[in-house]
Amino acid sequence: MQMIKNCTAVILCGGKSSRMGFDKSLLQVEGEFVLLRTVKQLQKLFPKVLLVTDQRTKFPSVFSQVDIIEDHYVEKGPLGGLVTGLEEIETEYLFLLACDIPNVTVDLIRDLAYHLPDYQTILCKQNERLEPLFAFYHRSCLPIFQQQLQTRNWQITKEFHRFSKKIISLEQSTTLDNVNTPKELIFWN
């Protein structure tokens, strides 16, 4: 399988998981960490995969072969994790993924990557909603996101009007649905 060059995958693992009742980044299904399964999928596509977390010590030794960095902007939501990732990568692009999206598909990521390097941001729209936590971001987005961190509005899509972007529509889909409650755990299988 051909790698997506000049791009680093970054998985956000720092949320509070308050509706779930436990840290979603440490969820296990049938004795396997779901996050490790996701990392293995992404390693088929990207030369480097990073985890951005609020606390790197929460991960057990089974994660010792995974690059883990602490969020530089704790308490600023996914935007802080995205900025941390953009500050840390050495590649031109970053692929951002939330740790609570169970149905990561290599084919969909490849479909998005097809549009590199024509846009600063490449993302999906699912059921009329933009999905900024399953998207590609060019390094040139960093200064704008850093400025946004200084405001009280940390919604990632707030400054999207300033970027060249490609939006791939996934109408009537559940592909990128995330899992927030114990009832939704069935989607992890």
Quick check: is 2 in a domain? no
153 in any annotated domain: yes
% residues pLDDT > 90 (the chain): 66
**Structural domains counted in the chain:** 1
Alpha helices by DSSP H, the chain: 34-43, 77-88, 106-113, 142-149
More confident of the two residues 187 and 154: 154
The answer to whether position 1 is within a domain reads no
Annotated binding residue 13? yes
12 labeled part of a ligand binding site: yes
Question: Between helices 77-88 and 142-149, what is the axis angle to 10°?
Answer: 140
DSSP-assigned states of every residue in 47-92: SEEEEEES-GGGS-GGGTTSEEEE-TTTTSHHHHHHHHHHHH--SS
Whether residue 144 has pLDDT greater than 70: yes
For the chain, what is the mean pLDDT? 88
Closest CA to 95 of 160, 49, 127: 49
Domain assignment present for residue 107? The answer is yes
**Degrees to nearest 5, angle at CA 37 with 32 and 40:** 140
- What pLDDT was estimated at residue 145? 98
Would 69 be classed as within a structural domain? Answer: yes
What is the residue range of 170's domain? 7-188
The per-residue pLDDT for 175 is: 56
pLDDT of residue 176: 52
Q: Is 14 annotated as a binding residue?
A: yes
Share of the chain above pLDDT 70, in %: 85
pLDDT in tens, 88-124: 999 999 999 998 887 788 888 999 999 999 999 999 9
CA atoms within 13 A on the CB side of 51: 25
Phi, psi of 183 (to 5 degrees): -60, -30
Q: Considering only residues 139 and 172, tell me which one the structure prediction assigns the higher pLDDT.
A: 139
> What is the model's pTM?
0.90
Residue 76 — very low, low, confident or very high, per pLDDT cuts 50/70/90?
A: very high
- 24 among annotated binding-site residues: yes
CATH classification at residue 175: 3.90.550.10
